[in-house]
């Protein structure tokens, strides 16, 4: 693998590399450059130099380049799907879904050509106007996570480029390969030298330098809340605009009158999609007491049938790395020590051959989790779910809102009054009613509280990439009389 700086594929200036491990086997897959701060500075300088030209060509030409990139990705999509299975441990059907998402987002954002419009506002007196232009920020630093390593890259670089910004992309060190593959397609599609730059390396080594650099005007990062808070602190050096898409702890509510079959299927998706490593994953289950026993029995039975192992032949692949496996195991161990009952799972599966050294964990259901327990308060980010029995709607919505995170939430009910009461009271950026996720390109994916600030998708998401410039114009030919300036001075 290489970095892409100022139109050239290069190694790190230190000559050093990092290793990418296959989470299914624990074996090294690839080596990628460990960029230095000097490499990052060169990438930012290149992005700054390319900005004026890239911005001036107009959004129609940029849209055509985006659509060409979409076409090139579509033609070779099987390669990208294979990389996602290898570097992330996704099962093939979910790798396909992710690539569908990549293509959809690029098409969606390309559709904004000539649609970013400003305003003309009347002035305070005759023959005066205020022109409000929407202009790009300049150099955008884009930092992406490992859980949807291709979709998150597309969701950042497509709107940034369409609006005329130039980009320095730094992917997660757990998934650099899919990001490099996508960048190559954008370059092949015609993104000119400097408009996109790609650097790899540990966030802990080069992250601060990238987000606090004085030439970076916007930082868009998807990742954990801890990293988001660090970025907020560091980016203050530069007052960079921030778009931060951070952690989640989605409540999944099944009410007494829910369509049980739809709720069950959706819950299996919401909990185990991507191995529970999704910001919108169901992380807390609240089931109405009238249906609790039968719903939990059916959900446990379905969960036991989920096949875990080699992603090519299973329903559920591995966690991303050894640290994630350790964290997930610790959550379950401590829950069990505190008296919660493990209905299924709770340990690593027994696998054969190379997969014995992979980071697999069985789908796990824990009963009896207290509202203030780590299982109900902290982001687990693995295939583990705690359950609570509930009865009163107002109390249940209060419990759902009782979280430092505020991204996705789910509700299953056939009652309109329950839907609208929840819509009014739920305090999350997204509520999915009688359906699973994920979010759509035309929705505004945004989180409340410690899930961050700003959002992605929809016209609100693309407008994160432009700022307003106000031009005050006086087109009268009459002499100016300025009240607080004495005429006898002239």
Residue 403 phi, psi dihedral angles, 5° rounding? -155, 145
Q: Which of 279, 139, 158 is nearest to 223 (CA)?
A: 279
Q: Which of residues 419-458 bind ligand NAP (CB under 6 A)?
A: 445, 447, 451
Q: Which residue's CB is nearer to ligand NAP, number 152 or number 422?
A: 152
Residues 421 and 266 sit within 8 Å (Cβ to Cβ): no
49-88: contacts with ligand NAP (CB under 6 A): none
Q: Per this entry, what is the length of the chain?
A: 490
- Please report where in the chains the tokens 């009459």 appear, as a residue: 478
Burial 4-38 (b: 16+ CB within 10 A, else e): bbeeeebbbeeeebbebbbbbbbeebbebbbbbee
Nearer to ligand NAP, 95 or 258 (CB): 95
Distance CA 192, CA 69 (A): 13
Which of 39, 81, 208, 464 binds ligand NAP (CB under 6 A)? It is: 208
- Contact between 31 and ligand NAP per CB under 6 A: no
- Residue from 32, 146, 273, 376 in contact with ligand NAP (CB under 6 A): 146
- Work out how close the CB of 415 gets to ligand NAP at its nearest, in angstroms, rounded to a whole number: 30
Query: Smallest distance from the beta carbon of 40 to ligand NAP, in angstroms?
Result: 11
Residue (211 or 308) nearer to ligand NAP, CB: 211
Q: Which is nearer to ligand NAP, 164 or 176 (CB)?
A: 176
Q: Residue from 12, 22, 222, 328 that binds ligand NAP (CB under 6 A)?
A: 222
The interface with ligand NAP within residues 115-144 (CB under 6 A) comprises 143-144
Smallest Cα–Cα separation from 269: which of 299, 237, 248?
Answer: 299
245 is catalytic: yes
Using rule CB under 6 A, residue 178 touches ligand NAP: no
- Pick out residues in 370-429 that bind ligand NAP (CB under 6 A): 379, 381, 407
User: Minimum distance from CB of 102 to ligand NAP (Å)?
Assistant: 14
* Separation between Cα atoms, residue 480 and residue 490, nearest integer Å: 12
φ, ψ at 361 (rounded to 5°):
-145, 140
Which of 3, 34, 172, 328 contacts ligand NAP by CB under 6 A?
172
The reply to whether 245 sits near ligand NAP by the rule CB under 6 A is: yes
In whole angstroms, give the CA distance from residue 153 to residue 99.
11
Query: Taking CB under 6 A as the rule, does residue 247 contact ligand NAP?
Result: yes
Restricted to residues 256-285, the positions that interact with ligand NAP (CB under 6 A) are 279
Any idea what DSSP says for residue 487? G
Q: Which stretch binds ligand NAP (CB under 6 A): 58-66, 185-193, 239-247, 367-375?
A: 239-247
Q: Give the C-alpha separation, 279 to 479, whole Å.
A: 60
Of 207 and 436, nearer to ligand NAP (C-beta) is 207
Q: List strand residue ranges (DSSP E) for 278-371, in order.
A: 282-288, 341-344, 364-367
Piece of 73-81, 227-235, 345-353, 383-391 that binds ligand NAP (CB under 6 A): 227-235
CB of 224 to ligand NAP, least distance (A): 3
Closest C-alpha to 183, from 149, 201, 202, 157: 157
Among 13, 49, 96, 224, binds ligand NAP (CB under 6 A): 224
Q: Closest CB to ligand NAP among 205 and 434?
A: 205
Query: Nearest distance from residue 263's CB to ligand NAP, in Å?
Result: 23
Residue 8 annotated among the catalytic residues of the structure:
no
| Letter string b/e over residues 465-479, b meaning 16 or more CB atoms within 10 A of that residue's CB | bbeeeeeeeeeeeee
Q: Which stretch binds ligand NAP (CB under 6 A): 31-39, 110-118, 216-224, 286-294?
A: 216-224
DSSP designation for 308:
B
Judged by CB under 6 A, does residue 145 bind ligand NAP?
yes
Give 188's DSSP letter.
H
**For 247, phi and psi rounded to 5 degrees?**
-65, 170
Sign of the alpha-carbon dihedral angle for 419, 286, 227, 170 = negative
Nearest residue to 145 (alpha-carbon basis) of 120, 169, 114: 169
Q: Which of 245, 367, 439, 464 is flagged as catalytic?
A: 245
Q: Which of 48, 70, 279, 379 is catalytic?
A: 279
- 204 binding ligand NAP? (CB under 6 A): yes
By CB under 6 A, name the one of 23, 248, 386, 438 that touches ligand NAP: 248
What are the start-end ranges of the H helices in 305-348?
Answer: 322-337
Choose between 91 and 143: whose C-beta lies nearer to ligand NAP: 143
- Spatial CB neighbours of 225, under 8 Å, sequence gap ≥ 6: 246, 247, 379, 404, 405, 450, 451, 452
Question: Cα angle vertex 266, ends 438, 426, to 5°?
Answer: 70
Binding interface with ligand NAP (CB under 6 A): 143-148, 170-174, 202-204, 207-208, 211, 221-224, 227, 230-231, 245-248, 279, 379, 381, 407, 445, 447, 451
- Which residues does the annotation mark as catalytic? 245, 279
């Amino acid at each position: 693998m290489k970095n892409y700086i100022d139109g050239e594929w290069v190694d790190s200036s230190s000559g050093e590399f990092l290793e990418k491990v296959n989470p299914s086997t624990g074996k090294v897959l690839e080596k990628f450059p460990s960029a230095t701060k000097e490499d990052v500075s060169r990438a930012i300088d290149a992005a700054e130099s390319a900005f004026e030209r890239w911005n001036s060509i107009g959004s129609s030409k940029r849209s055509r380049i985006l659509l060409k990139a979409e076409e090139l990705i579509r033609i070779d999509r099987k390669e990208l799907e294979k990389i996602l299975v290898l570097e992330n441990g996704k099962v093939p059907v979910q790798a396909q879904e992710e690539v569908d998402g990549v293509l959809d987002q690029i098409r969606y954002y390309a559709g904004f050509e000539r649609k970013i419009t400003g305003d003309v506002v009347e002035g305070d007196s005759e023959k005066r106007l205020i022109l409000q232009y929407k202009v790009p920020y300049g150099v955008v630093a884009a930092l992406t996570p490992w859980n949807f390593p291709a979709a998150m890259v597309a969701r950042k670089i497509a709107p940034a480029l369409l609006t005329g910004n130039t980009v320095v992309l730094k992917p997660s060190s757990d998934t650099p390969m899919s990001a490099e593959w996508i960048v190559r397609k954008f370059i092949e599609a015609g993104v000119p030298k400097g408009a996109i730059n790609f650097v790899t390396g540990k966030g802990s080594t080069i992250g601060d330098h990238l987000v606090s650099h004085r030439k970076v005007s916007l930082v868009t990062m998807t990742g954990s809340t801890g990293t988001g808070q660090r970025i907020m602190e560091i980016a203050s050096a530069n007052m960079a605009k921030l778009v931060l898409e951070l952690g989640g702890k989605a409540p999944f509510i099944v009410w007494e009158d829910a369509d049980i079959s739809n709720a069950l299927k959706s819950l299996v998706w919401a909990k185990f999609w991507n191995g529970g490593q999704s910001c919108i994953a169901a992380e807390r289950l609240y089931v109405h007491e009238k249906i609790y026993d039968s719903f939990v029995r059916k959900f446990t039975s379905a969960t036991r049938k989920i096949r875990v192992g080699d992603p090519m032949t299973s329903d559920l692949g591995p966690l991303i790395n050894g640290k994630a496996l350790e964290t997930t195991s610790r959550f379950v161990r401590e829950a069990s020590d505190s008296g919660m009952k493990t209905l299924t799972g709770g340990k690593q599966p027994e696998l054969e051959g190379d997969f014995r050294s992979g980071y697999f964990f069985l789908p796990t259901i824990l009963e009896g989790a207290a509202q203030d327990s780590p299982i109900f308060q902290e982001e687990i980010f693995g295939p583990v779910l705690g359950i609570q029995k509930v009865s009163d709607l107002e109390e249940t919505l209060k419990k759902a809102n009782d979280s430092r995170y505020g991204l996705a939430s789910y509700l299953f009910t056939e009652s309109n009054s329950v839907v609208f009461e929840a819509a009014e009271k739920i305090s999350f950026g997204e509520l999915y009613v009688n359906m699973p996720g994920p979010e759509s390109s035309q929705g505004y994916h945004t989180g409340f509280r410690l899930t961050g600030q700003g959002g992605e998708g929809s016209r609100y998401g693309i407008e994160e990439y432009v700022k307003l410039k106000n031009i005050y114009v006086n087109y009268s030919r009459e002499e100016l009389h300025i009240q607080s300036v004495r005429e006898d001075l002239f």
